[in-house]
Chains A and B, each alone.
Chain A
Amino acid sequence: MELVCPAGSLPALEAAVDNGADAVYIGFNDETNARNFGGLNFNDKNALRALERIRNRGRKLFVAINTYAKPDSFARWQAAVDRAAGLNADAVILADIGLMGYARERHPELALHLSVQASATSAPALEFYRQQFGIRRAVLPRVLSLKQVQQLAAASKVELEVFGFGSLCIMAEGRCHLSSYVTGESPNQNGVCSPAKTVEWRNAAGGLETRLNGVLIDRFAENENAGYPTLCKGRFIVDGKRQHALEEPTSLNSMALLPELKAAGIQAIKLEGRQRSPAYVAQIVRTWREAIDEVLQRGADFSVKDSWRDTLSKNSEGKQTTLGAYDRPWQ
């Protein structure tokens, strides 16, 4: 079971490698990747350094080029694939059908992983990408229950990677336009959700307000922790009731399911967080490294240690975690 870890910078990549990542995924510093945030990600020089560090330590490097290519600048996405192939990356993580066609034709040796942004949730959808583009692995959307993951793993002809820990997208990835509806920028086209440049923190009579492009996302009393105004985690009014109508600030944590995921034949666990600090990456990677090593040794006797749980909770949105869609009652 491979541990696939995020890096938005060289120090984060080093933290991931030092703490036990089997593979690290990075993006180039433009809208070709789904964590297109200012000051993050890799230019050509840093990508080469990243590769050198990865090779020195015998790990793998994946490059995420997982937004949907724009019609007037398709060449930028093609160039990103060319750059990843030029680096001799171990795989590229793609979502766009047109781009996969290009990668397959131009770089037949380059391994393709299907991004979670492609939202493939059934065996025939996975088979589509395998037959058309020869994808080797797919990252599953965070919408399936454990049982559904197990069924899909039994039917799939490609390797499957699932999310272990990190910010929880509660919508099917690649199929959420909430951000563009309010701010004009979307994960699919711009690689951002609820972009920071549209965020406003405002002290008002009713408390601290968070806004996105002027739209009120939440209002906090003095004793409440004010979180980043991600659209699906705001407090809204439904039928006269003020509530977290979609989801509360929380992170996904599937560590407790590791034995089942391993038994199902899941080949890789992905940690989310290319936008996070090297210190964050170091802590969660070390925790997951220990947990995966334990499950490899102990199998079904595995249990989540309190210290692991504490570390992950501390690094979670709203200081709480959930099994998300893996667990039916969450749905």
Chain B
Amino acid sequence: MQLALGPAQYYWQRTDINQFYEQMLSTPLDIVYLGEVVCGKRHQLRAADWLELAQQLAEVSDKQIVLSTLTLLESNADFNWVRKICDNGQLLVEANDLSAVQLLAEAGLPFACGPAVNIYNQHTLAHLMSLGMTRWTVPVEMSARQLGEVLNACDSRPEVEVFAYGHMPLAYSARCFTARHLGLDKDNCDYRCMEYPDGLPLASQEGEELFVINGIQTLSGEPTNLLRHYKQLCELGIDILRLSPQWQQMEQIIDAFDCARRDDLDTELLPPGVDGYWCGRPGLELIARSGTGAPA
């Protein structure tokens, strides 16, 4: 089982981004995804800066470095950003929408598909594989049962990656909810999402943590955590577990997953999280409360 660090969802200071990825180099991660996936206005690192950072990391590390593209494209500027990433000429690209798929397929390059590309069945998977897709990160709302059905029905399968830890990206909008909360227009947002390095929590009027607002993106209020399903993930033949970057305690989370793959996990020390989607239930539910096997 390989461990991957997914692309960062939040907007961080340039120096913090550099420092974060520097720290990640000394963790047991196998794969690191890099790039802006949420908002084309964010400019602490532009496309060229992400490319440069990715190339630097690839030079000094034996981890696989992958470049991720924007998820929701609206303007020509957004598309030009995606084009620059796809044209990098060196590193694997994770396509997060069909524009990137089109560019990469036209160029005859292998590509990965991120969780916001809607691949829900074996026929869609086969079609994209015929165009060069080599790795598939499964939509976050797909259950273990459905994933098993897709994989069983495949003649050949790509590398399969599952979103195993972190706040799940649930939705993308034209509207910036962080700006709305602060009483600003998106066009004059002052990049204030940077003030919330782990997003802005949204709770019900009863205090239930429902979602996390992150600019134009809405994330799950609870992180998903599939550690308790580690055995089942192995049995399904999952190749890669994706851990989503967060500002706090990233190293501890990576360590917990690394312990699981060395069969050395103290389940008392698990980070919190839900697993409803994986169990075919509403995403916010927690089904498996103990062990590292399949739910009872």
Complex interface residues of chain A between 212 and 250 (CB less than 8 A to chain B): 213, 215-219, 232, 234-239, 241-243, 245-247
How many B residues touch the partner, as a band?
35 or more
**Is B293 an interface position by the 8 A CB rule?**
no
Interface pair B181/A239, CB less than 8 Å apart: yes
How far, in whole Å, are A172 and B97 apart by their CA atoms in the complex?
Answer: 12
User: Nearest CB to that of A77 among chain B residues?
Assistant: B121
B107 to chain A, nearest CB (A): 12
- Is the CB–CB distance between B103 and A124 below 8 Å? yes
Q: Give the contacts of B47-97 with A (CB-CB under 8 A).
A: 71-76, 78-79, 97
Chain A interface main SS type: mixed
Find out whether the CB atom of B170 lies under 8 angstroms from the CB atom of A176.
yes
CB neighbours of B191 from chain A (8 A):
none
Interface size class of A (residues with CB under 8 A): 35 or more
- With known contacts A72-B149, A175-B72, A175-B116, A125–B127 Cβ distance under 8 A: no
Q: Please, which residues of chain B bring their CB within 8 A of the CB of A122?
A: 73, 78-79, 97, 99
Chain B minimum-CB-distance residue to A130: B102
- Give B83's nearest chain A residue, CB to CB: A124
> Is A28 in contact with chain B by the CB < 8 A criterion?
no
Q: Known A122-B79, A242-B205, A247-B175; judge A180-B141 contact (CB<8 A).
A: yes
Picked from A96, A125, A177, the residue with its CB within 8 Å of the CB of B124 is A96
Please, which residue of chain A has its CB at the minimum distance from the CB of B78? A122
Residues in A whose Cβ lies below 8 Å from that of B250: none
The reply on B171 being an interface residue by CB < 8 A is yes
- The reply to whether B172 and A180 form a contact with Cβ atoms under 8 Å apart is no
Q: For residues 160 through 177 of chain B, which have their beta carbon under 8 Å from a beta carbon of chain A?
A: 168, 170-177
Number of residue pairs A-B, CB distance < 8 angstroms:
221
User: Are B122 and A98 in contact (CB-based, < 8 A)?
Assistant: yes
Q: Give the complex CA separation of A99 and B120 in angstroms.
A: 11
Whether, in the assembled complex, A134 has its beta carbon less than 8 Å from a beta carbon of chain B, the answer is no
Q: Is the CB of B173 within 8 A of A143?
A: yes
Contacts of B98 in A (CB 8 A): 118, 120, 124-125, 128-129
CB pair A331–B186 under 8 Å, yes or no, is yes
A245 to B277, CA, bound (A): 25
Q: A132-B127, A177-B141 are in contact. List 16 more A-B contacts (CB 8 A).
A: A98-B126, A122-B79, A123-B79, A125-B102, A128-B105, A170-B173, A171-B171, A172-B72, A172-B172, A175-B72, A181-B277, A184-B282, A218-B205, A237-B203, A238-B213, A330-B175
Q: List 5 A-B contacts (CB under 8 A).
A: A69-B121, A125-B99, A128-B101, A236-B202, A237-B202
Q: What is the interface of chain A, defined by CB distance below 8 A to chain B?
A: 68-72, 74, 95-99, 101-102, 118-125, 127-129, 131-132, 142-145, 148, 151, 170-172, 174-178, 180-184, 186, 188-189, 213, 215-219, 232, 234-239, 241-243, 245-247, 324-325, 328-331
